[in-house]
């Protein structure tokens, strides 16, 4: 798979990222069996063998179990451990932590960011995280506190680079004003079903500031692929019949799957969008890598 550079760094990653939020097979950590862990680790290895070297995680994915499973995959495959570029996220706190009655909330306090990083390092079984992101905006964010946390983690050698997820352009600008190091990525929902980043300034800012946009749910929760099996409430109303017909036409022309065309459509954008592929089916993982070799004309893209 071809490589791209993340943001203003020299860090090279594959143009597609493998998203690990489903590798445990459930969101309920209490339901994860030893067999599920084994299968999850194999999914990661399958993605690596298909060409992926950029892996997307978060501390809340199955309450940290996804990070543990990824760590197990690293222990099983030495070549994966050498090649993997690991991205994970923090900042979303589950309810009833640290005390009963606490609400589901966001926390960008200096103490919570640094502790979250330490916890992720332990679960992953690594000494350093390549890309550490703030998951969703904390409306009580103090940029100076975040800057101190990032500086401490960078100085300690625990994190190489930083980014954000689901931030608006103004929120990125506010945070960046307090940081010494550049934010490399902004991970947001982008797909043919979700075009808001093309119109709200997100991709414009990415181009102007050399921030790499990462696209979560690039197949619209499955609506643009083989069908939506489990979608977010915000994705339930997506109407994709016309889009799917246009994708099918191009899929026949290029000899690939509908999903590969939907990903290739994102790869065409000059901001360097990195789609995060989340399928757990081995044949689908391999099939979607075909997007990396597709070059569309402007006419095909707009159709």
Residues marked as catalytic: 61
Contacting residues for 37 by C-beta, under 8 A, at least 6 apart: 24, 65, 68, 69, 72
Q: Are strands 159-165 and 183-189 parallel, antiparallel or unpaired?
A: parallel
Please say whether the beta carbons of 163 and 9 come within 8 A. no
How many Cα atoms within 13 Å fall on the side-chain side of residue 201?
Answer: 7
């Amino acid at each position: 798979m071809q490589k791209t550079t993340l943001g203003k760094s020299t860090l090279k990653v594959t143009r597609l990222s493998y998203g690990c939020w489903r590798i445990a097979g459930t969101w309920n950590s209490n339901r994860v069996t030893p067999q599920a862990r084994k299968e999850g680790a194999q999914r990661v290895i399958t993605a690596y063998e298909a060409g992926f070297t950029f892996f997307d995680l978060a501390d809340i994915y199955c309450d940290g179990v996804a990070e543990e499973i990824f760590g197990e995959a690293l222990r099983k495959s030495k070549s994966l451990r050498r090649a993997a570029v690991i991205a994970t996220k923090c900042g979303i706190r589950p309810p009833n932590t640290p005390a009963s009655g606490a609400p589901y909330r966001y926390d960008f306090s200096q103490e919570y960011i640094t502790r979250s990083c330490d916890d992720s390092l332990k679960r992953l079984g690594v000494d350093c995280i390549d890309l550490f992101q703030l998951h969703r905006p904390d409306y009580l964010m103090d940029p100076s506190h975040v800057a101190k946390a990032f500086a401490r983690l960078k100085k300690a050698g625990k994190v190489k680079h930083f980014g954000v997820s689901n931030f608006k352009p103004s929120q990125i600008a506010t945070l960046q004003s307090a940081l010494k190091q550049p934010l490399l990525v902004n991970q947001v929902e982008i797909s043919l079903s979700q075009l808001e980043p093309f119109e709200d300034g997100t991709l414009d800012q990415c181009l102007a500031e050399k921030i790499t946009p990462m696209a979560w749910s690039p197949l619209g929760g499955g609506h643009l692929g083989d069908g939506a099996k489990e979608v977010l409430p915000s994705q339930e109303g997506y109407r994709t019949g016309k889009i799917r017909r246009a994708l099918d036409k191009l899929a026949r022309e290029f000899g690939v799957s509908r999903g590969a065309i939907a990903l290739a459509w994102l790869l065409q954008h000059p901001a360097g969008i990195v789609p995060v592929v989340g399928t757990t089916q081995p044949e689908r993982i391999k099939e979607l890598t075909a997007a990396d070799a597709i070059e569309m004309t402007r006419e095909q893209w707009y159709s």
